[in-house]
Structure 1
Amino acid sequence: MPSDLYIGLMTGTSVDGIDAVLVDVGSDHFSLVATHSHALPEALSKDILTLCQPGESELDAAGKVSRQLGRIYAEACGELLAKTNTEAHLVTAIGCHGQTVRHRPGPDGFSVQLGCPDTLACATGIPVVSNFRNKDMVLGGQGAPLVPPFHLRLFGAAGERRAVVNIGGMANASLLDGDTLVGGFDTGPGNVLMDLWTQLHRGDNYDANGAWAASGKINKPLLKRLLRDPYFQQPPPKSTGRERFNRQWLTQHLKEDLPAENLQATLAELTARSIADSLTGFQPQRILVCGGGAHNTYLLGRLQDCCDVPVESTELAGLHPDWVEAAAFAWLAWARWEEKPGNAPVVTGAAREAILGQVTLP
Structure 2
Amino acid sequence: MPAYPQFVAPFRAFLNQVPKGGRIVVFCHFDADGLAAGAMFGRGLNRINSSWLVEVVPSGKGENAFLTPSAHERLLALKPDALIVTDLGVHEHGTLEAAGIPVLYVDHHIPEGRPPAGGTVLTGYGLEPVPCSAWLAYELLAAEADMTDLQWVAAIGVLSDLGDSADWAPLPAVKKQYTAKWLKEAVAMCNAARRAGEFDLELPLRYLLHDDNPRGLAQDERLGQYRAEVAAELAAARKLPPKFPPKGAAHAAPVAVVTINSPCQIHPLIAQQWIGRLPDRVVLCANRGYLPAGMVAISGRTASRELHIPDLLRTAFAHQGAAPPANFAHGHPQASGGHLTEADFNILLRGLGFEV
Q: TM-score range by the shorter chain?
A: 0.3 to 0.5
Structure 1 or 2: larger strand share? 1
Larger Rg: 2
TM-score scaled by structure 1? Answer: 0.32
